[in-house]
Structure 1
Amino acid sequence: MMRIKGIWAGLWKGFAVIVKMRGKGLWLCYTILLWGSYITALYCAFLSFPLTAEMMARYGIAALAVCFVFTSISMGVPSNGGIGPYQWAMMFGITLFSGGISGLTREYALTFANMLMGVQTLVLIIQGLLTFGCIALSKRHK
């Protein structure tokens, strides 16, 4: 019980820093934009595939929220870039809502999760290369 209280006190102390820091409005804006981007990307991915789109039509935003929360928590598991825990969390979230949707199996959910992780990784690599190029160009002009 003391350990849980210690963890809770540490979390509270970490969040309390936000109240005292400079630029907290901008920080809050960036935080909301970042998490909004994650949710929007997952929403678009769900609507891009027929069975997950049917799942969204049947269960609504609850299916999206459950998968989003599970995958967000999975990123805290120590692994290389969340590879493994992310897919398992997505697969678990999708299979919770697969009842009555023919073809929405664990294999489909795992394939969806792998494809989503692959595309996200590819986009991250492209963004990194573009950033590298922009930094090189900005240094050249100075």
Structure 2
Amino acid sequence: MDTKEEEKTSKKSSLINKFVKVVLPLALGIAIIYYLFKDINLTELWTVLEDANWGILAFSLIFGLLGNTIRGYRWQLLIRPLGYNPKVSNLNFSIYGGYAVNFVLPRAGEIWRCGVIAKEENIPFSKLFGTMIVDRIFDTITVLCISLFAFLFNMQFFISQLEENEEALNSVLGVLQSPILYISIAVLVIGTYVIFKFFKNNFIVKKITDLVVGMGKDMKAIWKMKTKNRLFLYTIGIWGSYFLYFYTTFYAFEFTEHLGVTAGLIAFALSSISMGVPSNGGLGPWHVAVVASLGLYGVDKLSATAFATGVFTTQSLWVILCGLVGIAALSIRKSKR
């Protein structure tokens, strides 16, 4: 293959990567938003938003910043057992900036913050990437626990909802009883085993294996640290702040202020799960999760959509603003060195 053909192949590959990373998530978000808003009267939606208490919405933003700040302290706690002691302010600025980057490139914020700290604190990127994955594992476990708690706490409510909606019940049972589900799981497990057993010399497989082995060693170091209790407290602090970040907004609207903590917990759990779908800052999937969860408690679609629109817009602008401040702070520090 000559140089020109290599350049063409490289450009084609780059375009495909950009399409997958940028266009697809954005298209998904826009498609979901269109589906959600297609039957909504925008004039009526704006009327609902005008009646919102924007002072309470602004107050809720404090808890979002608090949660992301505590996350910086937890990340520092995960890095220290590996023999490094980065400045918590740099970690915080990178976390703020990372969330802003996620609005441009979904999931790229985590990579960006690891790269920034690797240069700023002279820590190997692979080490930071490992701690970031551990950080996300803690988050995943926490979200699963919150979701399980929300479900168990409201089990009777969900059972009554399913009994009233026979179609939904049959859909749930259909998925659980479908052999396709279990065949897919088996194929995934066997396929993963075959790849790592018989193609272990492949470049990509070796990279993944080395990363997993390195993460295993880092996990052992983290597990042996004497400050595990603080790690647990930081995790509670992060997700307690995030819950208040969301639940406080209930009091900004007349149709949600009476719903209580139980409804807030369900909506928060579903919205947190929706963030696992790759989209720009949660655009689309987050709205659907919130509208659906509020609908369970009798909030009409127009009001629920207005709530999701007002909260998402306010909090997204806040995340972007804090991110720009974080990126600027890191740039200023770098220029002064």
What is the TM-score of this pair, normalised by structure 2? 0.33
Q: Deviations over 1:58-79 (max 9, x none)?
A: xx21101110111011111232
Question: Following TM superposition, by how much is the alpha carbon of 1:43 offset from its aligned partner in structure 2, in angstroms?
Answer: 1.6
The residue number in structure 1 matching 2:232 is: 28
1:59-74 equivalences under 5 Å are 60-74=260-274
Whether 1:49 aligns to 2:253 is yes
Partners of 1:92 and 1:64 lie apart in 2 by 13
The residue number in structure 2 matching 1:138 is: 333
Distance 1:141 1:40, change over 3 A: same
Partners of 2:230 and 2:321 lie apart in 1 by 26
Q: Which letter maps to 1:82?
A: G
1:48-127 equivalences under 5 Å are 48-55=252-259, 60-98=260-298, 104-127=299-322
Distance 1:125 1:96, change over 3 A: same
Larger Rg belongs to: 2
Whether 1:38 aligns to 2:242 is yes
Secondary structure, counterpart of 2:255 in structure 1 = helix
Q: Which letter maps to 2:240?
A: G
Partners of 2:327 and 2:230 lie apart in 1 by 25
Q: Is the 8 A contact 2:247 2:268 kept in 1?
A: no
Partners of 1:32 and 1:130 lie apart in 2 by 26
Q: Is the 8 A contact 2:281 2:316 kept in 1?
A: no
Q: Is the 8 A contact 2:270 2:290 kept in 1?
A: yes
Higher relative contact order (CA 8 A, sep 6+): 2
Counterpart among 129, 136, 141 of residue 324 in structure 2: 129
Question: Following TM superposition, by how much is the alpha carbon of 1:140 offset from its aligned partner in structure 2, in angstroms?
Answer: 4.4
Question: Following TM superposition, by how much is the alpha carbon of 1:82 offset from its aligned partner in structure 2, in angstroms?
Answer: 1.7
The residue number in structure 2 matching 1:11 is: none
Distance 1:107 1:21, change over 3 A: farther
Question: Following TM superposition, by how much is the alpha carbon of 1:141 offset from its aligned partner in structure 2, in angstroms?
Answer: 4.3
Partners of 1:46 and 1:52 lie apart in 2 by 5
Question: Following TM superposition, by how much is the alpha carbon of 1:25 offset from its aligned partner in structure 2, in angstroms?
Answer: 4.0
Secondary structure, counterpart of 1:76 in structure 2 = coil
Secondary structure, counterpart of 1:116 in structure 2 = helix
Question: Following TM superposition, by how much is the alpha carbon of 1:21 offset from its aligned partner in structure 2, in angstroms?
Answer: 5.8
- Give aligned-pair identity as a percent: 33
Q: Which letter maps to 2:261?
A: I
Secondary structure, counterpart of 1:50 in structure 2 = coil
Partners of 1:79 and 1:141 lie apart in 2 by 36
Structure 1 residues without counterparts, runs of 5 or longer? 7-13, 99-103
Partners of 1:20 and 1:105 lie apart in 2 by 47
Q: Which letter maps to 1:75?
A: M
Mean CA deviation greater in 45-54 or 30-39:
30-39
The residue number in structure 1 matching 2:103 is: none
Q: What do you get for the CA RMSD once the two structures are aligned?
A: 2.7
Partners of 2:254 and 2:326 lie apart in 1 by 34
Partners of 1:50 and 1:137 lie apart in 2 by 44
Partners of 1:69 and 1:108 lie apart in 2 by 20
